[in-house]
Chains A and B, each alone.
Chain A
Amino acid sequence: MSAAEFKPVSFEELAVPLFDQLYNFAHWLTRDRSEAEDLVQETYTKALRGFASFQLGTNFRGWMYRILRNTFLTSRTGLKATMTVPLEPEQDSLELPIERETPEAMLIERSNWQLIQNAIEELPLHYREVLLLCDLEEMSYREIAETLSIPVGTVMSRLSRARNTLTELVRRKLEGGTVNGMRKMEDTTRHLP
């Protein structure tokens, strides 16, 4: 039996590389630094305790996110956030067409990440988390479904709604006209050679 076949795996080895992204996600969920720190700390404490029951070879990242998200849902902020329910009924495998008149047809310059960040922050929790897990953490639909304990069809419909809602929020902010460096694409194209 060679040493390579008995590769040691410590919790630290697996969990430390996830620290920054878990913290970032926790902060997006809680919208507060000290709450995010509490959430991450509790997540690591729970994960450490439960590591013996974690099946090596399965998705450790998904497992950590699931612990973090479940811990958040039982926190004061999480309970408050989950009281906001979606107005539209959720349907599995509902695929929404992209709306034609969208602020996606706007050119957003790099200096306006703040606007996008504010718009993401305004998304309802169930849209914010699915959007960040997909576009930021680059999780597959299946991974997201496992992390959030929802069917893949619901992941797809939530993502679609999340993106449309984000688009609408950005459009409203742009129409407010107070944002520097962001112009509608048609305005920009006029200046193109």
Chain B
Amino acid sequence: MVCERWKTQLDIYLDGELPSEQMHDFDAHVRNCASCAADALVRVQLKRYVQTAGKRFVPRAEFRQEVYRRIAAKPTRRILGWNWVLAAALALIFATGLAVTYRGRSRSDQDRTVYGELTDLHVATLASLSPVDVLSTDKHTVKPWFEGKIPFTFDLPELHDSEFSLMGGRVTYLGQTPGAHLIYKVRKHEISVFIFPERALPGDGEERSKPVKEFSFNVESWSHAGLWYCLVGDVSANDMDNLAGLLKGAGS
């Protein structure tokens, strides 16, 4: 069939993805070929139907406002113009001059960023209607669920004689690195346990191993066997210590 070559490229033609010379050739062919013109017409119709029928779902006004509120008032970035080289040079001079004094401040800024991200994740997860992807109180169900989803494994403690219970877990990310997000419950409070490879973190994880407060949440973290553990919750520092103790004892 003389038209076979054209027909195999009909979608590409209608999607406007053919090179311009071929586009012209195709235009000329379609004008003179009733069969290809008919095929083109129905394929265009299908595209239009998908385009119209695809605009189907509209977000709830409350949901829209909630997300807008969250992303408002965040820092602004700037696009540099033609004189970006000058700006970069100035920045380099400043950076060189301030390098030594900056290091300590950078350390705490990095910590704040990491803790801030994990606190955001903790709050967003608990606000979700489906906070966990594996829903189980059994560590022998939750731990294997992560196999193949994250590039490491970890141990979880037995909780028989404690007031903590495991609710489940999900895969999460810190930067570009996947990690485990487990949720434990104590009385009516939830505690997030994040586990990431140490390399996911800026700087040295050991320096970060101390309890801190982030937006009134208690945050406790430590490193062990190449993994970095971080607990985030609104419970007392004592409860955080107890859960941290159980987790630290799990691998030993």
A, B: real partners: yes
Interface residue ranges, A against B (CB under 8 Å): 1-2, 4-12, 15-16, 19-20, 23-24, 27-28, 33-38, 40-42, 44-46, 48-52, 56-57, 74-76, 79, 95-98, 102, 104-105, 108, 113, 116-117, 120, 131-132, 134-136, 140-141, 156, 159-160, 163, 166-167
Q: Among the listed stretches B40-48, B182-190, B207-215, which one makes contact with chain A, having 4 or more residues with CB under 8 Å of it? A: B40-48
CB contacts (< 8 Å) of A23 on chain B: these are 57-59, 63
Interface residue ranges, B against A (CB under 8 Å): 4, 7-12, 15, 17, 39, 42-43, 45-47, 49-60, 63-64, 66-68, 70-72, 74-83, 86-87, 117, 120-121, 124, 127-130, 133, 149, 171, 173, 175, 178
Docked CA distance A7–B84 (Å)? 12
CB contacts (< 8 Å) of B60 on chain A: these are 33, 37
> A141–B17 contact, CB under 8 A?
yes
What would be 9 A-B contacts, judged by CB atoms less than 8 Å apart? A11-B77, A19-B59, A37-B129, A40-B63, A44-B71, A74-B149, A120-B50, A134-B15, A156-B12
B84 nearest CB neighbor, chain A only: A5
Q: Which of A6, A36, A46, A167 contacts B173 (CB 8 A)?
A: A46
Q: Which of B51, B71, B76 contacts A16 (CB 8 A)?
A: B71
> A6–B54 contact, CB under 8 A?
no
> A38–B79 contact, CB under 8 A?
no
CB contacts (< 8 Å) of A15 on chain B: these are 71
> A57–B54 contact, CB under 8 A?
no
B16 nearest CB neighbor, chain A only: A140
Q: Which of A9, A48, A52, A97 contacts B7 (CB 8 A)?
A: A97
> B77–A51 contact, CB under 8 A?
yes
> B129–A135 contact, CB under 8 A?
no
Docked CA distance A44–B68 (Å)? 10
CB contacts (< 8 Å) of B59 on chain A: these are 19-20, 23, 37, 40
CB contacts (< 8 Å) of B129 on chain A: these are 34-35, 37-38
> B79–A9 contact, CB under 8 A?
yes
B87 nearest CB neighbor, chain A only: A1
CB contacts (< 8 Å) of A117 on chain B: these are 53-54, 56
> B71–A38 contact, CB under 8 A?
no
Q: Which of B51, B76, B81, B130 contacts A8 (CB 8 A)?
A: B76
Q: Which of A24, A56, A104, A134 contacts B57 (CB 8 A)?
A: A24
> A7–B50 contact, CB under 8 A?
no
CB contacts (< 8 Å) of A97 on chain B: these are 4, 7-8
> A113–B49 contact, CB under 8 A?
yes
> A45–B133 contact, CB under 8 A?
no
CB contacts (< 8 Å) of A140 on chain B: these are 17
Docked CA distance A136–B7 (Å)? 23
> B74–A41 contact, CB under 8 A?
no
**Known interface pairs A105-B42, A141-B15, A159-B11. Does A28 touch B57 (Cβ–Cβ under 8 Å)?**
yes
CB contacts (< 8 Å) of A16 on chain B: these are 68, 71
> A28–B54 contact, CB under 8 A?
yes
> A104–B43 contact, CB under 8 A?
yes
**Known interface pairs A9-B76, A104-B42, A113-B52. Does A44 touch B70 (Cβ–Cβ under 8 Å)?**
yes
CB contacts (< 8 Å) of A34 on chain B: these are 129-130
Q: Which of B15, B64, B83 contacts A1 (CB 8 A)?
A: B83
B15 nearest CB neighbor, chain A only: A134
Q: Which of B39, B72, B79, B133 contacts A7 (CB 8 A)?
A: B79
